[in-house]
Amino acid sequence: MTTKTKDRAALLALTLVLAGCGQQAAAPAENAEAKEAEGVVHLTAQQIEAAGIALVRPTAGAGTLSLPATIESDPQATQVVSAAIGGRVVALNRNLGEGIRRGEIIAVIESRDAAGLRAEVEAAQARANLARSNLTREERLFALKVSPERDLIAARTAMTEASIALRLAGQQLSAAGVGGGSLNRIGIVAPIGGQVTARSVVLGQTVAPDAELFRIANLGRVAINLSLTPADAGRVRIGTPVEVRAGARSTTARVQFVSPVLDSATRLVPAVALLENGGGIWRPGEPVTAILQVGASGKAVSIPDSAIQTVEGKTSVFVRTKDGFRAVPVTVASRVGGMATVTGLSGREELAVEGSFTLKAELAKGEAEHGGH
């Protein structure tokens, strides 16, 4: 049975109960006016039971804020592995989900550019060796007073220039990669340790310079992306505890960042909490519920969403009284998972849950009948 069907059935039951109550029908008109003005629906315990109205008490919720969130890789522990030079992929040493240590070769690219870089290093090394030999000879001849000082200075200058050229060629080769096994191959190394979370190429594929090959993430710590209203963001601080729930699993994280500006698209405040994930049980992309331990302007309690109705334009709940129910305005702080965090209640009340819609309808009906006189 759907919720709307249940509400219609409860409304019918309540109408029949009230219609059969002669005492209610005989109530003076002025008394009915006072009841309607107060947002009161008078029912006995027997009538409440006959109408199928279920009651619930609020649960402690002071200082909490529940939000839907998503597990993401820690941005500071995630890195893209790209090809510094273009060429053909001839080796892929890791698959998705496999672990890798920093500095290990993760792919090999075959390229004419790689051959050029290696050749430049070898040529620079040869020039440096020749310059060093010439400098040694000139130093010996100058010591024997056979060669003038200007020849010695020229040899020293040539040696310095050759050393600079060799160092530059080595740096260019290092920036492109290492190893690979042959003159025209470059090995791409892992910049960090972790797990391969994405692979953008296949064997034999030709890639352009700076093309993304892999993404590596250290999932020992993951991030939780939150979106806060400006009002809620004012109650969240760096270090605020966050309870993370997904099904039967739960753990604790802490807020590490609260943006000082609103997101231009959502007009909400981005925030990030970090969660230690040593066991690897939390996976990036997984939806979770984040419960932040924050201060509240008033006492906040948690109630079922179905207890909330709109009465005379105000968000309200129906509170059990000794004579029936009274509509009490509340302020909703957040809604998640069928529950709402509200202020405006003491927490000791009994609230109508199943059948609260029928109470709203009966209250509106009474006000309409009185307004027609």
In this structure, which amino acid lies at residue 226? L
Two tokens at 129?
A: 């060796």
Instruction: Please report the pLDDT score of residue 274 as a whole number.
Output: 92
Instruction: Please report the pLDDT score of residue 330 as a whole number.
Output: 92
3-state helix/strand/coil string of 173-208: HHHHCECCCCCCEEEEECCCCEEEEEECCCCCCEEC
Picking from 28-32, 140-144, 245-249, 345-349, which range would have the lowest pLDDT averaged per residue?
Answer: 28-32
At 368, the pLDDT band (50, 70, 90 cuts) reads: low
Q: What is the DSSP string of 118-160?
A: HHHHHHHHHHHHHHHHHHHHHHHHHHTT-S-HHHHHHHHHHHH
List C-alpha distances in Å: 204 to 196, 209, 341: 20, 16, 56
pLDDT surpasses 60 at 299 = yes
Domains along the sequence of the chain with CATH? 3-63+298-371 (2.40.420.20), 65-74+218-293 (2.40.30.170), 77-109+188-217 (2.40.50.100), 112-183 (1.10.287)
Mean pLDDT of the chain: 81
CB contact at 8 A, 21 and 47: yes
**pLDDT of 14-64, one tens digit each?**
554 455 544 444 344 444 444 444 678 888 888 888 888 889 988 765 567
Instruction: Please report the pLDDT score of residue 119 as a whole number.
Output: 81
Contacts of residue 105, defined as CB under 8 A and 6 or more positions apart, other chains included, come to 93, 178, 179, 180, 187, 188, 189, 190
Instruction: Please report the pLDDT score of residue 357 as a whole number.
Output: 82
Instruction: Please report the pLDDT score of residue 270 as a whole number.
Output: 92
